Structure 1
Amino acid sequence: MRTSLARRAGLAALTTGTALALAACSAPATGGGTATGSGERPTASASGARVAVSYEGGILVLDGTTLDTIADLDSEEFTRLNPAGDGRHVMVTMSEGFQVLDTAAGTDGDPELTGLVFEADTPGHVVRHAGKTILYADGTSDTTVFDTAELADADALPEVETVEGVEAHHGVSVVLEDGTFITTVGSAEGRTGIVVRDASGTEIATSDQCPGVHGEGTASDEAVVFGCENGALVYRDGAILKLDAPDQPYGRMGNAYVSESSPVVVGDYKSDPDAEGYLLHAVTLIDTAAGTLDVVDLPEGVEYTFRDVARGPGDLAYVLATDGAIHVLDPETGEIERELPVIDAWTGPKEWQDAHPALVVAGDIAYVTEPATNSIHAVDLTTGEILATGELEVTPNEIAVARS
């Protein structure tokens, strides 16, 4: 099924079976950077969208069609941005926890970095699935869960459930439609795997065969993938499947890029633990239905970071590479179908937090940051046309889109 560049991994099935606890959980910001848009062609996909862009000490909120600045808000020096899942709000990682940014997408209101904060010791991953938003605190390993739709009332935090963690680690959790709770297992010494509990808190499966477990993604039929330093874990229908990377003992997948209408998960991939920098030149393709893991080497000169992959139209994968083009990859075949030139060629960051090009997708539109020119571009993924360019007075770092 894959190209000659693909390398097939071996697999081994694992299952088994630990307990669950529930409890409950609940500050403000404005300042320095503007954007001017060009190419104001309206599109159905971009209409009503708002784009949040972080920069050092602030967050811009841009119109998703024109890329004009609507608001410029003060924040902490470095923040991470994650869509909350309701098409309007963005979770901003601050020192006190996850602060709610109201982009006002789909409304006549003004964007606001609200005073609402989901308190968390070292806020980490944000997951959106099955109408829930799931927040993970690395400093405690606690998981906060709430109904995404309840964020609509911006005057107060929604009611939450807190699943108390066991040992603090950089982790992630997900809640499935039937209430199944899956979370990573680890400690300050390292991360080892996942544990699965049903809605009543009864452990139904566990695996400790995932060193350095990181990242999560849910594919079709609620097959959930977690990356490991030697492959990946797939949870589906009450069982955990371990997929070994073709490179051993180290073949790391750390981030999953998914479509909930496709069984194939695209992951990043690194086979040399001593490699310097953050540029990668291969991807993993995990078929959750077939139970296979392939590694596909990208063409020479095509490298990317964790910020540069997204799923989009046709369940395809879109990879923003160092040559400045978006490479359209078919996860079913592992082949690059076409290239869409967008920005100038770029080099990888010295540290992962450093500003470097990033890609997010909303509908048929990709938003691409270009820190070297302090700009952002909207690209029609169906035609390759650059629809708009926003010229910023600040250097863009992270990016998130809200679209009602």
Structure 2
Amino acid sequence: MKRLVRGVSALALSAAFIGPVAFADEDAEDVTLYRVFVGDHEAGKVTAFDLNKPENRWTFETKGQNKLYSVNEGAAIVSVQSDDDAVNFINSGISLHSHGDHSDIEIENPAAVDKALTGPRPFHVIDHDGKIVINFDKGGYAEIVEAHELAHNEIESKQLKQARAHHGFVAPVGNGWVTTVASDAPVEGDAAPTRVGLRAVNEDGTPVGDIATCTGIHGEAFSGAYLAAGCKEGILTVTAGKDGPVTKMLTYAAELPSGETTGTLLGAKSMQVFLGNYGAKGLVVVDPVDEPHFRYIELPFRRVDFALDPANARFGYVLTEDGSLHQIDVLDGKLSKSAKVTEPYSMDGHWNDPRPRIAMAGDEIVMSDPNAGLVRRIAKDELKEVGTVEVEGKPYNIAVAGGSGKVHEGEEHDHAGHDHDHENHEHAHSHGDPQVYAGYFEDSQIKDRPLSDYAGDWQSVYPYLQDGTLEPVWEHKAEKGTASVEDIRAEYEVGYKTDVERITIEGDVVTFYKNGEPMKGSYAYDGRETLTYKKGNRGVRFIFKKTDGDAEAPQFIQFSDHKIAPEKADHYHLYWGDDRAALLDEVTNWPTYYPSSLTPQQIVSEMKAH
């Protein structure tokens, strides 16, 4: 098996962006917190509690039974109520932001998002690339929700229409979309349409390619560069290609038990590998790249639920109906240890009968135990129970948010070299050399950078200046320097000013949003320019030229993000226009963008840390 390690934090719930330079902060406190969300089997409610202090508890009322999903790096929980045609969202109250050598954690009470989605039978949820996609099986469409909006207690969504209502899914792949496709119902009456495959579509649902055959397509997951889905024939993989999604069928190996298929898949976070079900008593490890693509794991009893460990991609865990929990060695393709953790739960009966569900919470596995009215805490290494949490009713579906990070005393830690003077807005730095950080470096240290350094979904900070959110930043800068709050605010009013409230960067496509309306262009690297400021320090602009796209999209874009060599941006200043040379003379207006996943409070903390 190819053991590809991707650039993802071992904490699956850590933020996707690498933060700014962080110096040692003796006042910072290391905190590990996991928050557990449990849906009741019978009542319309979600119970949330802190795992290490379960007396910290919250209850959220819903219309019906909940299937719970942790999304947007654990910042939010999606509650899908399929039988009651409703989808609710809960902000988990826990957000993490990586700074390379450590993560910061911000903790608040969880809170329900005011708005809910309603529609005929919501079911599958996909969380990928800043999009949360819910398929409405009886509506013939998927609702696409912008993940970053949830942190602002808002839901910004749009619908992708499907050709026919069916039990399926819609997923973003690269710059495009794919959707499952169904034929006519095989018999008259209420029989469900037959799912026949996957098709590339535009965001409005219009087809842009042929159907990739995948009979009975069901179950989907992302891992690395791949989307995978289970089929009668095998596992269908999808990757982003130059001309749209590229599909490949991995046909089930002859040595696998005949007559079985995969209908549920989990994707590893830090290895490019999938774990799927295969029949009632089997699991299959799927390598989408190297042969053998399939490794079968036979279970001693029928499977109840299974999960992958985001903190240690080598291992997964599966609960079987005899009440035993088994550790799965994904690399070796076998069960490595087992232990009895609950009373038996037979798999006979209805698929939605109350049975345990498991989720990962750092060094523990949390398991709902409906008959006992408990959530059990099980140490993942020893598979031993370390505690229980009573939950009223019949605890059933379960989701977890959280991780480990530093909490800074008052968030008043400071980094040298960032005063209100814009000369230090465009200085460069690296994580290893304070001189480079201060804008003093040799030409030999400068390296070309790809557009992927700036990939992601970004929000302008100008609205936060206008509504007063950034006032603590100006006060903090005034305390550290010689200028007044009023003078600092006035300078940043000019610096941050822009009518482009959001930018997304995917592949070579940059999309600018003005009043919610997109304009986009494809951009190629056009070199770099080193600028010298009055104080003698320097900064580097990395420049990209438009090769295709909307006429309104600028001919040139120039990034300044305080770095001089390839490294993921945590925020950036962007200059754009049609005159490459003239842009280099612009030093007073520097529209600034932070990840859209950050809350206003997180942005304030980040700015104070500069």
TM-score interval w.r.t. the shorter chain? 0.7 to 0.9
Deviations, residues 237-276 of structure 1 (Å, cap 9, x unaligned): 4432222334698321101011132222111112xxxxxx
Instruction: Give the total of aligned pairs.
Output: 346
Pairs within 5 Å for 1:156-195: 156-157=154-155, 159-176=156-173, 178-187=174-183, 188-195=192-199
SS at match of 1:185: strand
CA deviation after TM superposition for structure 1 residue 382, in Å? 3.6
- Equivalent residue, structure 1, for 2:308: 310
Alignment partners' CA distance in 2, 1:243 and 1:290 = 11
SS at match of 1:290: coil
- Equivalent residue, structure 2, for 1:257: 266
Deviations, residues 156-200 of structure 1 (Å, cap 9, x unaligned): 32x223211110000012113x32212111144210110124779
Pairs within 5 Å for 1:85-100: 85-94=72-81, 95-100=84-89
**Gap change, CA 1:172 and 1:108, over 3 Å in 2:** same
Deviations, residues 347-371 of structure 1 (Å, cap 9, x unaligned): 2251111110111113333211112
Alignment partners' CA distance in 2, 1:314 and 1:327 = 15
CA deviation after TM superposition for structure 1 residue 98, in Å? 1.3
Pairs within 5 Å for 1:195-210: 195-197=199-201, 203-204=208-209, 206-208=211-213, 210=214
Alignment partners' CA distance in 2, 1:378 and 1:224 = 32
Match of 2:248 among 226, 236, 241: 241
Deviations, residues 281-332 of structure 1 (Å, cap 9, x unaligned): 11122110126542524243x3313x33334432122112223332111222
Deviations, residues 209-262 of structure 1 (Å, cap 9, x unaligned): x22111101112x21111113422111344322223346983211010111322
Unaligned 5+ runs, structure 2: 2-29, 96-105, 184-191, 404-610
Which stretch shows the higher mean deviation, 378-387 or 145-154?
378-387
- Confirm whether residue 326 of structure 1 aligns to residue 325 of structure 2: yes
Alignment partners' CA distance in 2, 1:261 and 1:196 = 27
Q: Is the 8 A contact 1:308 1:359 kept in 2?
A: yes
- Equivalent residue, structure 2, for 1:146: 145
Q: Is the 8 A contact 1:174 1:183 kept in 2?
A: yes
CA deviation after TM superposition for structure 1 residue 121, in Å? 1.9
- Equivalent residue, structure 2, for 1:287: 287
Matched AA of 1:235: V
Alignment partners' CA distance in 1, 2:148 and 2:379 = 29
SS at match of 1:354: coil
Deviations, residues 30-51 of structure 1 (Å, cap 9, x unaligned): xxxxxxxxxxxxxx89514232
Q: Is the 8 A contact 1:371 1:395 kept in 2?
A: yes
Q: Percent identity?
A: 20
Q: Is the 8 A contact 1:197 1:203 kept in 2?
A: yes
Q: Is the 8 A contact 1:193 1:207 kept in 2?
A: yes
Q: Is the 8 A contact 2:162 2:179 kept in 1?
A: no
Q: Is the 8 A contact 1:133 1:145 kept in 2?
A: yes
Q: Is the 8 A contact 1:60 1:69 kept in 2?
A: no
Pairs within 5 Å for 1:290-301: 290=290, 292-294=292-294, 296-300=296-300
CA deviation after TM superposition for structure 1 residue 203, in Å? 2.2
Alpha carbon RMSD of aligned pairs, Å?
2.7
Alignment partners' CA distance in 2, 1:340 and 1:46 = 26
Matched AA of 1:169: H
CA deviation after TM superposition for structure 1 residue 127, in Å? 0.8
SS at match of 2:163: coil
Q: Is the 8 A contact 2:180 2:197 kept in 1?
A: yes
**Gap change, CA 1:78 and 1:51, over 3 Å in 2:** closer
Unaligned 5+ runs, structure 1: 2-43, 271-279
Q: Is the 8 A contact 1:230 1:249 kept in 2?
A: no
**Structure having the higher Rg:** 2
CA deviation after TM superposition for structure 1 residue 137, in Å? 1.0
Pairs within 5 Å for 1:343-354: 343-348=342-347, 350-354=349-353
- Equivalent residue, structure 1, for 2:509: none
Q: Is the 8 A contact 1:193 1:213 kept in 2?
A: yes
- Equivalent residue, structure 2, for 1:21: none
Matched AA of 2:208: E
Matched AA of 2:138: G
Which stretch shows the higher mean deviation, 374-383 or 193-202?
193-202
Alignment partners' CA distance in 2, 1:56 and 1:228 = 32
Q: Normalising by the residue count of structure 2, what TM-score does the alignment of the two structures yield?
A: 0.52
Q: Is the 8 A contact 2:93 2:107 kept in 1?
A: yes
Alignment partners' CA distance in 2, 1:349 and 1:69 = 36
- Equivalent residue, structure 2, for 1:273: none
Pairs within 5 Å for 1:1-400: 47-57=33-43, 58-68=45-55, 70-94=57-81, 95-105=84-94, 110-154=109-153, 156-157=154-155, 159-176=156-173, 178-187=174-183, 188-197=192-201, 203-204=208-209, 206-208=211-213, 210-220=214-224, 222-236=225-239, 237=241, 238-245=245-252, 246=254, 250-270=259-279, 280-290=280-290, 292-294=292-294, 296-300=296-300, 302-305=301-304, 307-315=305-313, 316-348=315-347, 350-400=349-399
Q: Is the 8 A contact 1:354 1:397 kept in 2?
A: no
**Which of 1 and 2 has higher RCO (CA within 8 Å, sep 6+)?**
1
Alignment partners' CA distance in 2, 1:259 and 1:295 = 15
CA deviation after TM superposition for structure 1 residue 383, in Å? 4.4
- Equivalent residue, structure 2, for 1:17: none
Q: Is the 8 A contact 1:135 1:145 kept in 2?
A: yes
- Equivalent residue, structure 2, for 1:15: none
Matched AA of 1:72: T
Alignment partners' CA distance in 2, 1:71 and 1:50 = 10
Q: Is the 8 A contact 2:91 2:150 kept in 1?
A: no
**Gap change, CA 1:261 and 1:206, over 3 Å in 2:** farther
Q: Is the 8 A contact 1:70 1:111 kept in 2?
A: no
